[in-house]
Structure 1
Amino acid sequence: MLRMALAGLLATPAFAPVWAQAQRPHLTPVGIADLPGFTDDRLDEALKAFIKTCDKAAQSSLPVDGFDRAAQARVCAAARRGEGAANPRAFFTRRFRAFLVSGDQAGDAFFTGYYQPEIPGSLVRSREFPTPVYGLPPDVVTLSSAQRIGALADLTAARKGANGALTPFPDRAAIEDGALDKAPGVKTLVYLRDNVDLFLAQVQGSARVRLPDGRILHLSFAGRNGQPYTALAKVLVQRGVATPAEMTMRRLTDWIRRNGLARGQAGDELLRLNRSFVFFEARFDAQPDRQPQGGSGAPLTPYRSVAIDSRIWPYGLPFFIDAQMPWRGPEPTPFQRVVIAQDTGSAIVGPARADIYFGLGDVVGERASEIRHHGRFYVLLPLD
């Protein structure tokens, strides 16, 4: 579920392109039992989430000092056999070492929240639902670092012609003007109300589309056109529409709709500044309230699954977050929980960075969009 958190919409230099060199984390050992709030956490919930992806550690791309894949495999096997079921706190205390993660000398970490939105749609194009959602075109290919030269230098994907030649894929403006309407092999999956709903699904990387007959069509990330991403919230902040602290996803989408989505209107022009365009896969589900899958392939667990920089951290690793944030309501309260690395996102860059999955629908989405908070981030590495 490759997504872009609101912090990515505000994109400061800390949120570098996804192909930038990964930063190695600095780890300071701490006592796991001394983690703030650790003894009060519902670690049975954390253990269940851990078991879902504890065998995914081999998907990491950057060696982590002190991480032993064989030890992870042994801990995973023990958890799957039922060790820890009776006393999950003893399991985590006995099986893991805790380290404070630092991306800088301050040891500070930054957290955001994300969710899966539910939006209305239709399988049939109509005046009410005119906006197509496209499947991944068959001629889109991901570029290697060696291929990012010349006209492709700033791209992450491109169009591969019948002769093998690579050219830039159409950007958002061209696609919205119909560049894919007659493209061979391109499937239209569903139709939405407008480009704001499409943008919202693309930012989150997935969506639940409620059809007129009540069925839920799940959209999940399939790929993108490779064009550069522009932070639209940052554009509005620079224009004086709101301060960074005031800018939320709701405020951004409301501004776009208020200022018009017709060709040439200000809302439409703002959307077109973001040349990046996301494509989806679609499926019906007999269990419409099922949680979406993360990049690890496992269903996400609200408040237990986090997206991390997967170039640095392997999927399946447990972490501990210690922060004050408005996750239960409008007032900040302690978020002191073991969470599991089960997803990633293009705005999740660096070792001391995590995006917390809040769940399904607009109610939790309102809370998730408010999370842009600092705190402490600890990694739990398996003991030898």
Structure 2
Amino acid sequence: MVRPATRAASFRDLPGWQDDRLDDALLAFSRSLPALSSHTSGWPLFDDLRAHCEAAARLVSTGDVSEATARSFFEARFVPHAVVQDEPHGLLTGYYEPILPGSRRSSAQFPVPLLRRPPDLVTLVDDALRGTAGIGLTHGRQTDDGVAPYPTRQEIEEGALDSLDLAFAYLADPVDAFFLHVQGSGLIEFDDGDRVRVGYDGKNGHPYSSVGRHIISQGGMSAEQATLESIKDWLRADADRGRKAMWENQSYIFFRELGPAAETATLGVRNIPLTAMRSLAVDAGCHELGLPVFVVAPDLDPGALGKGFFRLMMAQDVGSAIRGPERGDVFYGVGDEAGRLAGRTKHPGNYYLLLPRPADLAAA
């Protein structure tokens, strides 16, 4: 792990800190506890982070956490540190969980399969590090002669895995299916009435590349024109052209059913339940998962929150495109409105890492 340089600050230095309501941030932080309890780290502050998360979970379990209590908790147990890098700002984007119609059987209406994890797929690096630059293939295919590269997106869509009978759901639209891969999870409203959440369960190991960036490079639209909806429209306007553009992203995601939508949560890395507007995908090669991060993005207008984004977020997810010390992906929640907000988020931003104080002193 290559941790970024930081500069100690105070909570008074954090723009918008006093205006952020922190009671739901404390709840979001507490949801990292199972992941922090089941993993170890060589980071010297890891045990303190876990101890503070345990304390947060105890507070939340009382069922009565006020905003003032949550604010006192974070200010007593953490010290903000500004990330210092050569560039003046990082980049914030957004992601969400789509709701898509589907079927358990292939048909003319629902021809696009979602595939479960193949039995011969092996994980070569910790999934938490799958977005880290320079790590090569993240997954491979176990063969009698060792581990080989898995088929690419194009090869899979042209039938390379058909003999394994991996399809468990079918969607109507290849563009929606492609962006479900990009988001990593979603809700499927099956034609039999079931509403089921599906989530990430591995990938073919090939590097992710942005279809939007490819379209821009080919002159399909300008960077200023590129939003989630405009990219989808471009891909759908010419099916053959769109399919070839999507094949430029060789990465392919495998899914699993998590259960009925009403009984499950959107899951981030290491099965951390995500919280809309509080969970952040980060580069786990730079930051400890579970760490609170105060995000400052004055130009971001996230709907009902008003102008400017000044929010305490939790590092609870990763993504293949999330690389760098101030590169973040904001989880906006579930459904069309969340997708609209996520799709228009591409703004400069900065991080203040909340580094844990020694747990024995903070609790004293």
TM-score (ref. length: structure 2): 0.87
- In structure 2, relative to structure 1, the CA distance for the partners of 1:200 and 1:46 (3 Å cut) is same
Q: How does 1:113-124 map to 2 (within 5 A)?
A: 113-124=94-105
One-letter code aligned to 1:194: D
2:259 to 270, 284, 291: 284
Determine helix, strand or coil for the equivalent of 1:253. Answer: helix
Task: Identify the residue that residue 75 of structure 1 maps to in structure 2.
Answer: 52
Partner of 1:187: 166
User: Is 2:277–2:313's contact at 8 Å kept on the other side of the alignment?
Assistant: yes
Q: Which moved more, 1:74-83 or 1:88-97?
A: 74-83
Instruction: Write the distance in 2 (CA, Å) between the matches of 1:225 and 1:273.
Output: 14
1:228 and 1:322 map into 2 onto residues whose CA distance is 29
* Aligned partner of residue 154 in structure 2, secondary structure: helix
81-90 or 363-372, which moves further after superposition?
81-90
Give yes or no for the alignment of 1:53 onto 2:27: no
Residue pair 2:102, 2:110 contacting (<8 A) in 1 also: yes
Give 4+ residue runs of structure 1 displaced > 4 Å after superposition. 57-62
TM-superposed deviation, 1:80: 2.8
Determine the structure 1 residue equivalent to 2:21: 42
CA RMSD of aligned residues (A): 2.4
Distance 1:281 1:69 in 2: 31
Shift in alpha-carbon separation, 1:310–1:199, aligned structure 2, 3 A: same
Is 1:89 matched up with 2:71?
yes
Cα distance 1:188–1:79, how it changes in 2: closer, same or farther (>3 A)? same
Aligned residue identity for 2:75? T
5 Å-filtered alignment, 1:196-235, equals 196-235=175-214
1:246 equivalenced with 2:217 (yes/no): no
Looking at structure 2, the residues matched to 251 and 245 of structure 1 have their Cα atoms a distance apart, in angstroms, of 11
Work out which of the residue numbers 125, 128, 137 in structure 1 matches 2:118: 137
Q: 1:194: how far off? A: 3.0
Is 1:303 matched with 2:277? Answer: yes
Structure 2: runs of 5+ lacking an equivalent: 127-134, 359-364
Match of 1:91, SS state, is helix
Q: Secondary structure at the match of 2:328?
A: strand
Contact 1:230/1:275, CA 8 A, preserved across alignment? yes
For these two proteins, the number of residue pairs brought into alignment is 343
Q: Which runs of 5+ in 1 are unaligned?
A: 1-21, 146-152
How far the C-alpha of 1:318 sits from its partner, in A, is 0.8
SS of alignment partner, residue 82 of structure 1: helix
301-310 vs 266-275, which moves further: 266-275
Q: C-alpha distance in 2, partners of 1:106/1:143?
A: 32
1:32-73 CA deviation, whole Å, 9 max, x = no partner?
13311111111111111111114644747674xxx5223223
Q: Determine whether 1:155 maps to 2:105.
A: no
Aligned sequence identity (%):
35
CA 1:41–1:228 in 2, change beyond 3 Å: closer, same or farther?
A: closer
* Conserved 8 A contact 1:224-1:276: yes
Q: Aligned pair 1:111/2:88, yes or no?
A: no
Structure with a larger share of its residues in helix: 2
Within 2, Cα distance between the matches of 1:318 and 1:41? 14
Change (3 A) 1:231 1:34: closer
